[in-house]
Chains A and B, each alone.
Chain A
Amino acid sequence: MNENKGEVIKVSGPLVVARGLKGARMYEMVRVGESRLFGEIIEIKGDSYSIQVYEETEGIGPGQPVWRTGEPLSVELGPGLIKSIYDGVQRPLDKLSYEFGEYIVRGAEKPALDRSIVWEFIANVKIGDNVGPGDILGTVKESNLVVHKIMIPPNFSGIIKKIESITGNVDEVIAVIEGEDGKDHVLTMVQRWPVREPRPVSKKIMPVEPMFTGQRVIDMFFPITKGGTACVPGPFGSGKTVVQHQLAKWADAQIVVYVGCGERGNEMTDVLMEFPHLKDPASGESLMERTVLVANTSNMPVAAREASVFTGIVIAEYYRDMGYSVALMADSTSRWAEAMREISGRLEEMPGEEGYPAYLGSRIASFYERAGSVICLGSDQRKGAITVIGAVSPPGGDLSEPVVQATLRVVKVFWGLDDKLAFSRHFPAINWLTSYSLYQDVVDEYADRIFKGEWSKYRKTAMEILQREAELEELVRLVGVDALPHEDRLLLQAAKMIREDFLHQNAFDDVDTYSSTEKQFRLLKLIIIYYEKIKKAFKEGATLAALTKLDVLEDIAKAKFIPEDNKKQFDTIEKKIEDSIVSLT
């Protein structure tokens, strides 16, 4: 029997068992059956190879051929990734739809990088230069926002024998390098990399630079850093996807990789239709100019869903290696975990908690560990970062379930979504009492330098007010609001203002959808100085009734709709607060 060809002996859903693949390795890619479906070897027992197949297996049966490819599941990396939309195994969905129609047909194949695009490669090394892993050979302008750096692949070094600035597609030879083995190696603009293997870096460093997102509850209260990790768990309908979309839109990352893992088809369409029209607040360019999409919707094959988060993270790592700060959103990691569970069940593995495989925790941890702030390979010691934000969809919103718990062990930021908030249409429904960010100190340090120490001061005051409100609410439930001392009732009013006028943010309003840090700061400052002033006025004899019916309250409530370029209006309102309270005492 041909060494590269075996035969199917068993088919059970997405799991196929084959024999006669002697020499095949774990995670090697194979093609299964007459229709050449994509598959990956996930278990080897003697001459029996278990293969997870990335496509519907109807019509596959014993006796059909299986071909080895000799290569693990890999992605193509090079110019053309930006603005693409891929499925879980990096097939370009746009190209597939042009060629094969509106349904995804089995065995369909197209190269991930479009060969018809001609790129302009500008070399910035010269003949005779010594180059090592990660060194930049030259650049390609990939989109209006991204300069793509063509790098020497990891684990390779040598002397440049030939290099040229050329115009051509990604397969065009750009350099010839004499390697340490004395042989000549030809380099093009494309690299391949196995998805399950993290791309090496020079070293990891602590993430200390904040990644602002334009979302007030996140930036001010539960911030994240470039290179940090966060999770967004919440029951359905609590707004996970909107939070993820908002971050993909407004986070100040240079590259965004959005992985739609086992989620709704219409949501991906939404991203595809909306992003080209949205403008990056920093550059004014379309957001698509910095975005790569990986979409494996829930009804697409489950094995490809399992692979999709890895496909996404390798692409993120590749741009990180160029020295960019990358944000990766994975929506939802629960679907990814369920894909693992499904495959594990078919392999008849001994289940851990709730049927999930025993290695669930370690898989999740190793995924989030691929985030981080790093010194990249390459002699210029450039820095890059990957921020990973994973949505988790726990059954019934129950945070004690295994995926949430395994995730919480590794992530540093927890944005807990609350369905009670969602029901009262408080969005983003991030619960301010249960959420946390372990990056708060470093972000405070950073922001306090800009806002002269007041950033953290106002935030802390606001947080105290909210916590006190929660205590008072218990009391109100027992004795009624009228029984509270007037001072506490002033506090309740301030808390309500923080909730409604600051934390509540409308993703669908053109102005409110994004707040710069300065606007966030000014907005919170309004509420806090208002509260401090009325507290003082109350001590000096003003009545509760008068203090809670001030005209200026309406100005504060509408302040979040003040456009970014009209910050003077905040001064006006501050003045008005001052005036109206003075008039009372």
Chain B
Amino acid sequence: MADVAKEYRTVTEIVGPLMIVEGVSGITYGELADVKLANGSLRRGRVLEVSGDKAIIQVFEGTSGLSPQDVKVRFLARGMELAVSIDMLGRVFDGFGRPIDDGPAIIPEKYLNVNGSPINPFARDYPNEFIQTGVSTIDLLNTLVRGQKLPLFSGSGLPHSRLAVQIARQAKVLKTGEKFAVVFAAMGITFEEAEFFIADFRRTGAIERSVVFVNLADDPPIERIALPRMALTTAEYLAFEKDMHVLVIMTDITNYCEALREISAARREVPGRRGYPGYLYTDLSTIYERAGRIKGKKGSITQIPVLTMPEDDKTHPIPDLTGYITEGQIIINRALHTKGIYPPVDVLPSLSRLKDKGIGEGKTREDHADLMNQLYSAYARGKNAKELAVVLGESALSEEDLLFVKFADEFEDKFVRQGENENRSIEESMRIGWELLSMLPRGELKRIREKFLDKYLPAR
């Protein structure tokens, strides 16, 4: 076993965020290390590779100011752990789980390894409980359920933060008497953005049931690698040991991936697409897959990761790989935003994969699925007709197509658009949906079963 007290002064190489220490013994993969500078300050490192008597250490705070001659390294013989306690609620931490809000130190209930272990698929419970976010485009068309991971795909300058905050503020299930918590993980975002979230949590009192982890844009980027794992370890603790329903908001995943790329480049690994490491998918999955429910446990973890797509490009590796792991995506659209529509959710490419199990009779309402499919297909048709009109002029459209164009416009204006503080119930969203469909001839409503048309379609 490692000699815990032993300090090494044998750093031979420093490359980017990495440091090579030679002559070590008893070191294991993933172990933490204290890196002591000449001026007595301390940094935190983790063993990324150990080969014979050589260890590669990733220094979370970065290597600036380090010199091989005066650095002392002490290995801690344990992996990265987080001290958890129920008192974390209402507090703000840095990427290592150290309080940064001038509050008292946390008295730990226990220490948990932040890497977690994969949930046995057999032990998972299927997410099927409807969460009402009060946002029509989500509730009715891209339903969020407990235990789901549903990211917001956005671009720079778009109001994804406002939408994320609105969801955090309004989300509830149609049952009462359950315990909620929000875990907020900010990775490399600006002070203003972070402050926007925290101020909103304070304003609404949500801060009392929130745990906030912050790594700002000017904080060490490598810390961003540890941060989501700290946040999710806290979420697991609250959900599966304290029976809470936890909503985890992580922003911005793009910054996390860039930190990962930085390390990969420093290690001179063979790059995958756009310079991101080949294991980006696996790495992201160890974050996203920590959402879910477990059989026999009361709590749940629902994730809303936020990522900004470089150049709004959905095929960029980060949104692409994310989309393959998460259970759908909500896409924020620049054109809608420019039109002044909030929330600018691009309905057609957005998707919630778990919606089918969370809607319908006993959950929302019997006509939910039919109504959703019909709204989708009518809006898609209206959008198509609009594209045609751009080329040919409106006069080339058939009367029917014109009706669908009108529908699409109204749909964006009345259904997609809503106030930042407007908390629509699912019934309200459905009412608006039906109201809009009544513009169209009944014969066109093929996706809806006859009995629901009879029951819910308003007379014109």
Given contacts A104-B118, A425-B373, contact A264 B294 (CB under 8 A): no
Contact of A269 with B380 in the complex, beta carbons under 8 Å: no
Nearest-Cβ distance from residue A510 to partner chain B, whole angstroms: 12
- Chain A residues contacting B279 (CB-CB under 8 Å) are 13, 302, 342, 345
Give CA–CA (A338, B279) in the complex, Å: 8
Contact of A59 with B29 in the complex, beta carbons under 8 Å: yes
Contact of A299 with B289 in the complex, beta carbons under 8 Å: yes
Contact of A424 with B121 in the complex, beta carbons under 8 Å: no
- Chain A residues contacting B51 (CB-CB under 8 Å) are 9-12, 17, 62
Q: Is A566 interfacial (CB 8 A cutoff)?
A: no
Given contacts A11-B29, A482-B396, contact A62 B118 (CB under 8 A): no
Contact of B147 with A266 in the complex, beta carbons under 8 Å: yes
Contact of A10 with B272 in the complex, beta carbons under 8 Å: no
Look across to chain A and name the residue whose beta carbon is closest to the beta carbon of B282.
A302
Nearest-Cβ distance from residue B292 to partner chain A, whole angstroms: 6
Q: Is B127 interfacial (CB 8 A cutoff)?
A: yes
Q: Is A60 interfacial (CB 8 A cutoff)?
A: yes
Nearest-Cβ distance from residue A19 to partner chain B, whole angstroms: 10
Contact of A266 with B127 in the complex, beta carbons under 8 Å: yes
Give CA–CA (A557, B381) in the complex, Å: 18
Contact of B29 with A395 in the complex, beta carbons under 8 Å: no
Q: Is A500 interfacial (CB 8 A cutoff)?
A: yes
- Chain A residues contacting B288 (CB-CB under 8 Å) are 299
Give CA–CA (A292, B290) in the complex, Å: 25
Give CA–CA (A463, B439) in the complex, Å: 34
- Chain B residues contacting A424 (CB-CB under 8 Å) are 348, 376-377, 380-381
Contact of B273 with A354 in the complex, beta carbons under 8 Å: yes
Give CA–CA (A397, B314) in the complex, Å: 10
Q: Is B315 interfacial (CB 8 A cutoff)?
A: yes
What is the 8 Å Cβ interface bit string for chain B, positions 317-331, against chain A (1 contact, 0 not)?
100110111011100
Q: Is B126 interfacial (CB 8 A cutoff)?
A: yes
Give CA–CA (A152, B187) in the complex, Å: 59
Q: Is A568 interfacial (CB 8 A cutoff)?
A: no
Given contacts A236-B320, A266-B124, A269-B126, contact A500 B315 (CB under 8 A): no
Q: Is A218 interfacial (CB 8 A cutoff)?
A: no
Kindly identify, within residues 501 to 555 of chain A, every residue whose CB is under 8 Å from any CB belonging to chain B: 508, 554
What is the 8 Å Cβ interface bit string for chain B, positions 254-291, against chain A (1 contact, 0 not)?
00000000000000011111000111011001101110
Report, as a range, how many residues of chain B touch the other chain.
35 or more
Give CA–CA (A270, B356) in the complex, Å: 11
Which residue in B117, B325, B446 is a CB contact (below 8 Å) of A264?
B325
Contact of B28 with A395 in the complex, beta carbons under 8 Å: no
Give CA–CA (A60, B26) in the complex, Å: 10
Q: Most B CB atoms within 10 A — which of A64, A266, A480?
A: A266
Given contacts A298-B325, A341-B278, contact A104 B117 (CB under 8 A): yes
Nearest-Cβ distance from residue A394 to partner chain B, whole angstroms: 9
- Chain A residues contacting B116 (CB-CB under 8 Å) are 103
Q: Is B351 interfacial (CB 8 A cutoff)?
A: yes
Q: Is B295 interfacial (CB 8 A cutoff)?
A: yes
Give CA–CA (A311, B49) in the complex, Å: 30
Contact of A397 with B122 in the complex, beta carbons under 8 Å: no
Look across to chain A and name the residue whose beta carbon is closest to the beta carbon of B317.
A395
Give CA–CA (A398, B320) in the complex, Å: 11
Contact of B295 with A102 in the complex, beta carbons under 8 Å: yes
Contact of B127 with A508 in the complex, beta carbons under 8 Å: no
Give CA–CA (A272, B120) in the complex, Å: 12
- Chain A residues contacting B292 (CB-CB under 8 Å) are 265-266
Give CA–CA (A563, B388) in the complex, Å: 39
- Chain A residues contacting B286 (CB-CB under 8 Å) are 299
Which residue in A260, A272, A300, A395 is a CB contact (below 8 Å) of B320?
A395
Nearest-Cβ distance from residue B18 to partner chain A, whole angstroms: 13
Nearest-Cβ distance from residue A45 to partner chain B, whole angstroms: 14
Contact of A265 with B398 in the complex, beta carbons under 8 Å: no
Nearest-Cβ distance from residue B354 to partner chain A, whole angstroms: 7
Q: Is B177 interfacial (CB 8 A cutoff)?
A: no
Contact of B28 with A60 in the complex, beta carbons under 8 Å: yes
Nearest-Cβ distance from residue B120 to partner chain A, whole angstroms: 5
- Chain A residues contacting B122 (CB-CB under 8 Å) are 85, 93-94, 96-97, 272, 295
Contact residues of B: prevailing secondary structure: mixed
What is the 8 Å Cβ interface bit string for chain B, positions 350-372, against chain A (1 contact, 0 not)?
01011011000000000001000
Contact of A58 with B29 in the complex, beta carbons under 8 Å: yes
Contact of B121 with A265 in the complex, beta carbons under 8 Å: yes
Which residue in B124, B294, B443 is a CB contact (below 8 Å) of A554?
B443
Contact of B121 with A85 in the complex, beta carbons under 8 Å: yes
Q: Is A355 interfacial (CB 8 A cutoff)?
A: yes
Contact of A269 with B398 in the complex, beta carbons under 8 Å: no
Given contacts A237-B323, A266-B327, A338-B281, contact A93 B121 (CB under 8 A): yes
Contact of A355 with B398 in the complex, beta carbons under 8 Å: no
Q: Is A453 interfacial (CB 8 A cutoff)?
A: no
Q: Is A582 interfacial (CB 8 A cutoff)?
A: no
- Chain A residues contacting B323 (CB-CB under 8 Å) are 235-237
- Chain B residues contacting A235 (CB-CB under 8 Å) are 323
- Chain A residues contacting B409 (CB-CB under 8 Å) are none
- Chain B residues contacting A237 (CB-CB under 8 Å) are 323, 328-329, 349, 351, 353
Nearest-Cβ distance from residue B108 to partner chain A, whole angstroms: 20
Give CA–CA (A342, B271) in the complex, Å: 10
What is the 8 Å Cβ interface bit string for chain A, positions 426-450, against chain B (1 contact, 0 not)?
0000000000000000000000000
What is the 8 Å Cβ interface bit string for chain A, positions 125-165, against chain B (1 contact, 0 not)?
00000000000000000000000000000000000000000
- Chain A residues contacting B11 (CB-CB under 8 Å) are none
Look across to chain B and name the residue whose beta carbon is closest to the beta carbon of A106.
B117
Q: Is B405 interfacial (CB 8 A cutoff)?
A: no
Q: Is B69 interfacial (CB 8 A cutoff)?
A: no
Contact of B282 with A396 in the complex, beta carbons under 8 Å: no
What is the 8 Å Cβ interface bit string for chain B, positions 286-324, against chain A (1 contact, 0 not)?
101110101101000000000000000011110011011
19 examples of A-B residue contacts, CB within 8 angstroms: A10-B51, A10-B52, A11-B50, A13-B49, A13-B279, A58-B29, A58-B79, A60-B28, A60-B29, A62-B51, A102-B119, A236-B329, A237-B329, A266-B148, A270-B126, A297-B285, A299-B286, A423-B348, A424-B377
With contacts A298-B282, A477-B391 known, what are 13 further pairs, Cβ within 8 A? Answer: A11-B49, A13-B279, A17-B51, A96-B122, A101-B120, A102-B297, A235-B323, A265-B118, A265-B289, A266-B127, A272-B122, A395-B315, A477-B392
A residues neighboring B (CB under 8 Å): 9-13, 17, 56-64, 85, 93-94, 96-97, 101-106, 235-237, 260, 262, 264-266, 268-270, 272-273, 295, 297-300, 302, 335, 338-339, 341-342, 345, 348, 351, 354-355, 393, 395-398, 419, 423-425, 476-482, 500, 508, 554, 557
The 6 closest A-B pairs by CB, nearest first: A396-B315, A61-B28, A58-B30, A298-B285, A480-B396, A102-B123
